A and B are shown apart, each in its own frame.
Chain A
Amino acid sequence: MRDGMVGFLVVLCCGALLVGGCAKKEMVKGEEAIPAAAAPVKPAEQAPAKPEVKQEKMAAEPVKEVPLAKEEAATAPSAAQEETLQRIHFDFDSYVLTKDARDILTKDAELLLKKITAKVTIEGHCDERGSDEYNLALGEKRAKAAMNYLVTLGIPADRLSVISYGKEKPLDPGHDEAAWAKNRRDEFVVTK
């Protein structure tokens, strides 16, 4: 009986610690997200698309940058070394564009405005861990997040389309965090 009590207390403590650990991690995550959203504090101009308030805010700054980038690209063609559109990556079970993703999308947008005139399909992909059914919807949200961002960067919406493959087309067939990180992505396929 006493052993049981001790065991129970130990379990309780462990549980409490773990819960605490979880909460902490969540907090950190939240903090990461907040600066990302807060960075472009510049007055938001318009909010065309419906879903993500956060995203619209983030979009605000880059929108102003785009013309700049365009000028730059026009004056210095060498800047675009890569002719291909780069893929972007996401956090687990998330369709929020990370800072890295937004940087890449900005470059992609340059390419799309300057070099590539064809239509582009944005493919949303997930890692193998989530449910395949749910991931089909999540992948689509990832694709749409990128599409909305590109639209705010000045790409005409009618040049972009989205499709989700959920976890059906992994880039890396591995079963570790490195593979999963690679697989949580949007790809940009030029359809001509």
Chain B
Amino acid sequence: MTLQPSRHEGRLGTMVAVSLMVHLTMFVILTRANFFPGLKYPEAPVYYVDVVNLPVASPRAGSPAAAPGPAAPAPPPRTAPREMTLPATSPAKTKPTSTPAKAGPQKPTPETAREFEERLAQLERETEARHEAAAIEELKKRVAAGGRAPAGMPGATGKEAGSDYGSYIQSRLRDAFKTTIASQSKNPEVVVHLTIDRNGKVVRARLERSSGDKVFEDSVMRAIAKAEQNFLPPPRGGGFDQGFIFKPQGVGKK
């Protein structure tokens, strides 16, 4: 008898919780769908941007087709190692990106001395890749200088790729982090300062701040180790320094 009121309270509680969850997911879906950059009307997302940029980007890209032109500058670094979702762009872009993708899987196991020779070969390949990457960077720069506005990548915020090296690293880290994230606390957060040398190698990963969740810290370090295998060298043969805040995606966890 006496437990009835509490069960009733529980029902109310779950309903409030469900409503909250629904609203939060709605909110996240809406915000993730890239409405912020221009604060445009939410109903007119990607297409609008595309249309605006089309005439601006296409002449610079110098490609015959108008449509693939604006899409091209953004994708290379993002799509290079993993997905090839975009329609075939010009050959100049696909070629360099595919080489580091090949070099990637071979890197992770420089364990034994037996593989020394292979590593030598790999080094050579790497330098080659660096040259090619430099070429991409050049391209990227040119495009970036032209139109800073979102280049029409569906679902992108305009910083996804191409706009600068930091965002490129960020997106590589994000991809890796998806496959390593784990935690044992509610809202873990880790701030790591990465120093990347001119070969695209992480020479230092300094833990600047942590919420103290060791499981989470380790998952971040694993993400860095994993992503590092596919890093392209920073532009202009220089090093790169950047702080990154790692945390779980908003609503999912409680």
Complex contact flag A–B (Cβ < 8 Å):
yes
A134 within 8 A of B: no
Contact of B8 among A4, A15, A21, A25 (CB under 8 A): A15
Pairwise interchain contact A19-B12, C-beta atoms closer than 8 A: no
- Contacts beyond the supplied A15-B4, A19-B5, A22-B1: 13 A-B pairs with Cβ under 8 Å: A4-B15, A4-B19, A8-B12, A12-B8, A14-B4, A15-B5, A15-B8, A18-B5, A18-B8, A21-B1, A22-B4, A22-B5, A25-B1
Q: CA of A14 to CA of B5 in the docked complex: distance in angstroms?
A: 9
A173 within 8 A of B: no
A7 within 8 A of B: yes
Q: CA of A15 to CA of B4 in the docked complex: distance in angstroms?
A: 7
Q: Total A-B pairs in contact (CB under 8 Å)?
A: 26
Q: Say yes or no: A22-B2 contact (C-beta < 8 A), given A4-B15, A4-B19, A7-B15.
A: yes
On chain B, the residues within 8 Å of A21 by CB distance are: 1
B2 to chain A: closest residue by CB = A22
On chain B, the residues within 8 Å of A11 by CB distance are: 8, 11-12
Please provide the chain B residues from 185 to 223 with a CB less than 8 Å away from any CB of chain A in the complex. none
Q: CA of A7 to CA of B1 in the docked complex: distance in angstroms?
A: 21
18 sample A-B contacts, Cβ–Cβ < 8 Å, listed by A number: A4-B15, A4-B19, A8-B12, A8-B15, A11-B8, A11-B12, A12-B8, A14-B4, A14-B8, A15-B4, A15-B5, A15-B8, A18-B1, A18-B4, A18-B8, A19-B5, A22-B2, A22-B4
Total contacting residues, chain B, CB less than 8 A: 9
A10 to chain B: closest residue by CB = B11
Q: CA of A19 to CA of B8 in the docked complex: distance in angstroms?
A: 10
Dominant SS at the A interface? helix
On chain B, the residues within 8 Å of A7 by CB distance are: 15
Q: CA of A21 to CA of B8 in the docked complex: distance in angstroms?
A: 14
Q: CA of A173 to CA of B136 in the docked complex: distance in angstroms?
A: 82
Please provide the chain A residues from 24 to 47 with a CB less than 8 Å away from any CB of chain B in the complex. 25
Please provide the chain B residues from 1 to 53 with a CB less than 8 Å away from any CB of chain A in the complex. 1-2, 4-5, 8, 11-12, 15, 19
